[in-house]
Amino acid sequence: MLFEYHENDLEKDIKMRALQDQYYTEEEIWYIAESLILAMAYLQENKIKYGYLTPKNVFITATDPPVYKSFLFFLNKRDMTTYFQILSDQMPNVAYISPKLLSALKTKTMQPRHNEVKSDVFSLGMTLL
């Protein structure tokens, strides 16, 4: 399997910009939001649940203008979603899980009842924030 190499991701870019006092313009924020929403809409249309969206998983191309790409690391393996990483004590650096999944974690539920699309939308919203 081959993947594109991207030196920069959204998490690194946010930190770098903060250090240089070069924050995103409103236009850039809308562009990033649209890019991620279109990616998530494509996944939803194709019945693919992401389950692991964070700024670290949004890669930025070195083109002008940059392209923001969400990378599906685990190709929808249930046990590699953020929820199952936390459940199995493999805590990721950042975890944007929905309130329903957070409640399920309290009881260590192996098969949480939640709307996977809504959980992905929650992660998308948190990533954009």
What are the structural domains of the chain?
Answer: 8-128 (1.10.510.10)
Each residue's pLDDT tens digit, 14-64:
999 999 999 999 999 999 999 999 988 888 888 877 777 888 888 888 888
Give residue 39's identity as a one-letter amino acid code: A
Calculate Rg over the CA atoms of the chain.
15
Question: Is the pTM above the cut of 0.75?
Answer: no
CA 81 to chain centre: 11
100 φ, ψ (degrees, to nearest 5): -65, -40
For helices 116-128 and 26-45, angle between their N-to-C axes, nearest 10 degrees: 160
The residue written with tokens 């030196």 in the block is 7
Provide the token pair at 28: 């850039």
